[in-house]
Amino acid sequence: MEEKIEFYRETEFKDTEIGRIPREWEVMVAADVADYINGYPFSPADWKMHGVPIIRIQNLNDPNAEFNCFDGKVDDIYKIRNGDLLFSWSASIGIHIWKGGDAVLNQHIFKVVPKANINKLFLYYDLLLAIEQLKSRVHGSTMKHFQKNELKTIFMPIPPLPEQQKIAEIISTIDEAIQKTDEVIAKTESLKKGLMQELLTKGIGHREFKDTEIGKIPKDWEMTTLGEISSKITDGTHITPRYVPRGVPFISTKNIVPFKPGFDFQSYEKYISEEEHAELSKRCKPEKGDLLISKCGTIGRTKLIDVDYEFSIFVGLALIKLKNKEMGPFLEQLLNYKPYVKRMELASPGATRKTLTIDALEDLIIPIPPLPEQQKIAEILSTVDKKLEASKLEKAKLEKIKQWFMEELLSGRIRVRVA
């Protein structure tokens, strides 16, 4: 039988240096709730191909980052096990629970060892909130870091140990749900990648193939260029318009998300007047069924316009008007497929900031299946996109729930009853 969790709103507070907290809670500084053991100063000369992995900041920020290893002897205080609490204090400020197996700790990272009256998982969540105080006063213009003595100036509300444990259990349950959702997202992304590789090169049910300049494709597919299937390819205005507080959305590369239905115009920050939009539309008028494709900086991000909505675009985006708009869903998938993005990048001149020209877009060679097969391919891939989007929305919802519980439970405004 599952244990029933009972919440209640706190009504009895006391005034402290960090504001009002429940009467039976304490205020402690971060330096007093744990011991902070800095990692060993490994040098590049210590790095080996084999041995015990060395935890560097890059390994905390990116679980796929490669490890350097150490094959010598090191004091036990620098040894890390699963479940240890790590606190990176230089370059990238963050709190982490280690899950990567036995390792040794590099400098610029603390191993955090809670004091006897502090629950480790509770401390992890409490430090996640407290770290925002640190981030507001980190030192260094390029290499951000903080001094260890500043831990004496970070105040934290601390409930009795049994309540710490309850709070940690509640928030960690939400974290577990987020992790499971992350796993679903990763599996769905892997499925999408495999399906794109299969469907966009081999199609559906083909047995005969032909060699082309872009590789083997089904025998009954045609080779063409983007220019040949388009009535017009142009880019947005080359002149920065006059922005107004509200009006017609004026969008750039960062505002387009491939495979996601519609546009979230409510989140846009840049608008132009109706009059200026009307003038820009004489040259470049985005409409439902057209494609947008990024041509500066991030090359090749392609978005099908699937809503009737007035907006204008900047020069960093190209607008592709197709002769047959029914091809749009297939082309959105094809042009976002990594080999085609790579070809667009290679066709983009520029040493630091690459730019894809309209001529290069028009000359881009692409395979075209018969329209019914295009539609079937797009339908299959779109089904996976919808599952992926639903999972991402679920993760975002869980993260909001987690943030709410952290803010309410760790402040004592909402309490959890302890038997």
Residue 115 · residue 34 · CB < 8 Å: yes
Q: Mean pLDDT, to the nearest integer, of 158-180?
A: 97
List CB contacts of 278: < 8 A, sequence separation 6 or more: none
Residues paired with 69 in a beta bridge: 48, 53
| pLDDT score at 266 | 63
- Plot region of 248 (φ>0 → left; ψ -120 to 50 → alpha; else → beta): beta
Residue (of 75, 78, 56) closest to 67 by Cα position: 56
- Residue from 94, 32, 9, 21 nearest 60 by CA: 94
pLDDT band of residue 143 (cuts 50, 70, 90) is: very low
CB 312 within 8 A of CB 236: yes
pLDDT (mean) for 237-262: 87
Percent of the chain clearing pLDDT 70 (strictly above) = 95
Angle at 63 between CA 89 and CA 395, to 5 degrees: 95
- The pLDDT of residue 140 is 53
pLDDT of residue 92: 78
> pTM of the full predicted structure?
0.85
- All domains in the chain, ordered by first residue: 1-6+159-204+372-419 (1.10.287.1120), 26-157 (3.90.220.20), 222-368 (3.90.220.20)
Q: Is the pLDDT of residue 1 over 50?
A: no
Amino acid in the structure at residue 110: F
**pLDDT tens column, 191-221:** 999 999 999 999 999 999 999 999 999 999 9
First to last CA, the chain: 16
d(CA 325, CA 304) in angstroms, rounded, equals 10
**Average pLDDT estimate for 317-332:** 97
Give helix 161-202 / helix 328-336 axis angle, nearest 10°: 110
Q: How confident is the model at residue 52 (pLDDT cuts 50, 70, 90)?
A: very high
Tens of pLDDT along 12-38?
Answer: 999 998 899 999 999 999 999 999 999
What percent of the chain is predicted at pLDDT more than 90? 74
Pick from 106-110, 182-186, 230-234: least confident = 106-110
pLDDT at position 354 is: 83
Q: What is the pLDDT of residues 335-344, one digit of tens each?
A: 999 999 999 9
pLDDT score recorded for residue 138: 60
Under 8 Å CB-to-CB from 121, ≥6 apart: which residues?
Answer: 97, 165, 168, 169, 172
Per-residue pLDDT, 64: 84
Indicate whether 142 pLDDT > 80: no
Q: Report the pLDDT averaged over residues 80-100.
A: 90
Answer for the pair 320, 230: CB distance below 8 angstroms, yes or no.
yes
Evaluate whether 234 touches 318 at the Cβ level (below 8 Å): yes
Cα–Cα distance, 62 to 51 (Å, whole number): 20
pLDDT, greater one: 400 or 134: 400
- The CB-side HSE value for 200 (13 A sphere, CA atoms) comes to 23
In 3D, which of 220, 168, 155, 217 has the Cα closest to residue 25?
155
H/E element, 342 = helix 338-346
Nearest residue to 276 (alpha-carbon basis) of 236, 248, 310, 257: 248
Element (H, E) at 294: strand 291-294
Is it the case that residue 100 has pLDDT exceeding 70? yes
